[in-house]
């Protein structure tokens, strides 16, 4: 295959036999760690937060009893039996208990939100500029075109399978990017997908749902040629569809904003959805079209001026222009800036990060503007233009009341979310590589030092580790609160950059320990998922719950005050709110000479202050730079 661009060289498979999902069924089963191994890991993360040594000794006693307990051994054998008949013993449980049973609203608590930092080719357009009125539709059309190129690449299985250090990684999550919805239900939701590869048959739907000013439209940007080949409308034709929607809505008052119902608590939305579907057959058909559609595009009249504002609006923006259940939602603002909101249920952040990188690389290569030769690769001349279709629900008095209630509740919730999206520009992974510091390990050290400086203690911390080397693997927790991290934080906060040699030694030890823990977690040897498996086995099999699970320090260390994850080695960075009220979300993207942070907290909160936390994180990073520069003088 001849590759014509950097984007294609990164993403398209050169070998037609090297198809996207080729290795998925060949990947090894997710292992079950030993009980002793998991318990000792757990104890190690309790030490830094255990101020009362008597309490720690009590927990340690329970932990050692847990290892020797024949009832626990029975649970372990049950779990191993499950693993012998499931290539991924965790997969169904994780989906159900981490996501589908949760009753909290998807937006803003669970869905991932992010700004798209593409201002180099698509700068913010001001209201006084001549291009202001046409920019949003034009950019949204080109972005949608490239998103459809990504969809077609997946559908045709031409995306290069990901291989990390010679080891294939699961690509299964990419099957849930498009045509996927989380349907509300009671006592749990249901995840449904209609995505099909070309081998599996024609797509169920090639529509994109467009939300604008409280109205819902369906556009048809794809024509299936001879049943199997997807022909994508040119960006100018998609632009015409979007401009039609803009003009139609501009001549009318705002629509009912039915999408706000999807932002309610899941049990409430389940009841509202039943009411909505029960009004008439047309309502059921509209719901069906939305849920089966490829994706959602939101046109928003807000005009954010930086990535910080884009991030906040992507997470907490107008709920009447949202459909929280859909797997991927693109947001384009009036001034030509972009954000995204994605349901976390079917996949993890790397999926959206990779598609975002694909889109950004595409925009960079064409310098942000459509040219007619681009359409040749997607057979745009064969695609048929279809006018957008307004999708209307018939509403009754009860539904109108539910819409108002959901809107009011969302505004209350959104007002409690504090966000910060900022780039640290002093250095990045280039300097860290000079010192052989793993970039993510180093950033974790800085985060813990900053928390210790603000709060005077260590915090239980969750770091995402990928287990995609296993069949349908998703994530494991790498716990970054451990004794070496505690020693570094105490010393660094007390001494700053005044004693660089000692700080450097402690930094080396903490980085090395993090790398070890991350490698173990990625190889299925973390403790969180295993202990969850033992816990669920006891619950589901009606067995007595071991005492250790109810231990106060164990519960404290499972109460992750720091929710963290690396979005990749680029400036694309998104996040979610913290897992706990007194916590922080701290997500990051690491470039050669910069680190982008995406931080969240709750407000007002007597314990946390997001600006104070980041200010101290910024200073810690500067101090650690001095440590690195002066340690070997």
Segment 395-406, tens digit of pLDDT: 999 999 999 999
- Answer left, alpha or beta for residue 533, where phi above 0 means left and psi between -120 and 50 means alpha: alpha
- Cβ–Cβ contacts within 10 Å for residue 104, how many? 10
Asked whether 210 and 218 are in contact (CB, 8 A), the reply is yes
* pTM for the structure as a whole: 0.96
User: Cα–Cα–Cα angle for 427, 432, 437, nearest 5°?
Assistant: 150
- DSSP characters for 451-495? HHHHHSS---EEEEEE-TTSTT--EEEEE---HHHHHHHHHHHHH
| pLDDT, position 4 | 64
Name residues whose C-beta falls within 8 Å of residue 609's C-beta, 6 or more positions apart in sequence: 454, 601
CATH 1.10.3720.10 fits 104-415, yes or no: no
Closest CA to 492 of 452, 532, 537: 452
Mean pLDDT of 308-326: 98
15: helix, strand or coil: coil
Considering the chain, tell me which residue range(s) the CATH 3.30.559.10 domain(s) occupy: 35-95+419-630
| pLDDT, position 227 | 66
Asked whether 262 and 323 are in contact (CB, 8 A), the reply is yes
User: What is the Cα–Cα distance from 450 to 619, expressed in whole angstroms?
Assistant: 8
User: What is the Cα–Cα distance from 465 to 475, expressed in whole angstroms?
Assistant: 5
Mind listing the pLDDT tens digit for each residue in 501-534?
A: 999 999 999 999 999 999 999 999 999 999 999 9
Mind listing the pLDDT tens digit for each residue in 383-398?
A: 999 999 999 999 999 9
Mind listing the pLDDT tens digit for each residue in 56-73?
A: 999 999 999 999 999 999
Q: Is the pLDDT of residue 536 over 60?
A: yes
Any idea which residues carry the catalytic annotation? Answer: 344
pLDDT grade for 573, boundaries at 50, 70 and 90:
very high
Mind listing the pLDDT tens digit for each residue in 427-480?
A: 999 999 999 999 999 999 999 999 999 999 999 999 999 999 999 999 999 999
Q: Is the pLDDT of residue 230 over 50?
A: yes
Asked whether 267 and 261 are in contact (CB, 8 A), the reply is no
Q: Which H helix or E strand runs over 401?
A: helix 397-414
| pLDDT, position 79 | 99
Asked whether 262 and 106 are in contact (CB, 8 A), the reply is yes
Bridge partners, residue 95, by sequence: none
| pLDDT, position 402 | 99
Closest CA to 44 of 517, 587, 578, 482: 482
Mean pLDDT of 102-118: 96
User: What is the Cα–Cα distance from 316 to 419, expressed in whole angstroms?
Assistant: 10
Name residues whose C-beta falls within 8 Å of residue 254's C-beta, 6 or more positions apart in sequence: 213, 214, 320
pLDDT cut 70: percent of the chain above it: 99
Q: Is the pLDDT of residue 1 over 90?
A: no
| pLDDT, position 228 | 75
> What's the number of CA atoms in the CB half-sphere (13 Å) around residue 262?
23
Q: Which two tokens stand for residue 432?
A: 């860290």
CA 532 to chain CA centroid, nearest Å: 22
| pLDDT, position 226 | 78
Q: Is the pLDDT of residue 3 over 60?
A: no
Q: Which two tokens stand for residue 461?
A: 């911390």
C-alpha Rg value of the chain to the nearest Å = 25
Asked whether 337 and 550 are in contact (CB, 8 A), the reply is no
Mind listing the pLDDT tens digit for each residue in 479-500?
A: 999 999 999 999 999 998 889 9
Q: Is the pLDDT of residue 608 over 80?
A: yes
Q: Which two tokens stand for residue 316?
A: 């907490």
> 35-95+419-630: what fold?
Chloramphenicol Acetyltransferase (3.30.559)
User: Cα–Cα–Cα angle for 470, 472, 476, nearest 5°?
Assistant: 65
Q: Any idea of the CA torsion for 113, 117, 121, 126, to the nearest 10 degrees? A: 80
Mean pLDDT of 579-605: 97
């Amino acid at each position: 295959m001849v590759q014509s661009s950097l984007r294609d060289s990164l993403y398209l498979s050169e070998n037609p036999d090297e198809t996207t999902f080729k290795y998925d069924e060949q990947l090894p089963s997710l292992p079950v760690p030993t009980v002793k191994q998991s318990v000792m890991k757990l104890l190690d993360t309790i030490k830094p937060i255990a101020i009362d040594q008597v309490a720690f000794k009590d927990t340690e006693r329970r932990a050692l009893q847990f290892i020797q307990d024949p009832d626990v051994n029975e649970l372990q054998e049950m779990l191993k039996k499950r693993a012998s008949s499931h290539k991924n013993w965790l997969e169904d449980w994780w989906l159900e208990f981490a996501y589908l049973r949760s009753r909290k609203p998807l937006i803003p608590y669970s869905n991932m939100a992010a700004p798209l930092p593409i201002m180099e080719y698509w700068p913010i357009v001001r209201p006084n500029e001549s291009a202001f009125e046409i920019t949003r539709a034009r950019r949204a059309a080109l972005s949608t075109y490239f998103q459809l190129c990504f969809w077609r690449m997946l559908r045709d299985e031409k995306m290069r399978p990901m291989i990390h250090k010679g080891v294939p990684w699961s690509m299964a999550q990419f099957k849930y990017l498009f045509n996927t919805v989380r349907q509300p239900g009671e006592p749990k939701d249901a995840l449904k997908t209609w995505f099909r590869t070309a081998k599996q048959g024609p797509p169920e739907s090639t529509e994109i749902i467009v939300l604008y000013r409280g109205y819902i439209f369906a556009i048809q940007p794809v024509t299936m040629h001879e049943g199997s080949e997807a022909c994508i409308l040119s960006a100018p034709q998609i632009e015409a569809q979007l401009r039609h929607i803009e003009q139609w809505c501009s001549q009318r008052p705002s629509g009912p904003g039915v999408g706000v119902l999807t932002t309610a608590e899941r049990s409430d939305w389940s009841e509202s959805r039943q009411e909505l579907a029960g009004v008439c057959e047309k309502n059921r058909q509209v719901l069906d079209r939305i849920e089966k559609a490829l994706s959602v595009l939101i046109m928003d009249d807000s005009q954010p001026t930086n990535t910080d504002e884009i991030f906040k609006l992507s997470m907490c923006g107008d709920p009447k222009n949202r459909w929280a259940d859909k797997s991927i939602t693109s947001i384009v603002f009036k001034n030509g800036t972009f954000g995204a909101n994605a349901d976390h249920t079917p996949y993890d952040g790397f999926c959206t990060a990779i598609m975002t990188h694909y889109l950004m690389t595409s925009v960079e290569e064409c310098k942000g503007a459509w040219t007619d030769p681009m359409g040749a690769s997607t057979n745009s001349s064969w695609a048929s233009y279809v006018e957008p279709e307004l999708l209307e629900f018939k509403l009754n008095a009860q539904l109108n009341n539910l819409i108002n209630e959901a809107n009011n509740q969302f505004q209350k919730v959104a007002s409690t979310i504090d966000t910060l999206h900022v780039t640290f520009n002093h250095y990045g992974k280039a300097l860290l590589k000079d010192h052989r510091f793993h970039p993510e390990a180093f950033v974790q050290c800085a985060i813990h030092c900053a928390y210790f400086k603000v709060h005077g203690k260590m915090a239980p911390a969750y770091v995402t580790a990928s287990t995609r080397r296993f069949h349908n693997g998703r994530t494991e927790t790498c716990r970054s609160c451990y004794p070496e991290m505690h020693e570094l934080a105490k010393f660094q906060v007390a001494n700053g950059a005044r004693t660089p040699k000692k700080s450097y030694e402690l930094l080396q030890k903490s980085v090395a320990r993090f790398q070890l823990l991350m490698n173990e977690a990625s190889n299925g040897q973390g403790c969180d998922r295993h202990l969850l498996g033992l816990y669920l086995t006891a619950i589901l099999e009606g067995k007595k719950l071991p005492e250790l699970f109810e231990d106060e320090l164990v519960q404290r260390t499972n109460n992750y005050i720091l929710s963290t994850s690396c979005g990749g080695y680029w400036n694309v960075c998104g996040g979610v709110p913290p897992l706990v009220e007194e916590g922080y979300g701290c997500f990051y993207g690491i470039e050669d000479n910069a680190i982008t942070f995406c931080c969240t907290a709750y407000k007002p909160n007597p314990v946390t202050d997001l600006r104070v936390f980041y200010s101290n994180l910024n200073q810690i990073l500067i101090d650690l730079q001095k440590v690195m520069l002066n340690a070997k003088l």
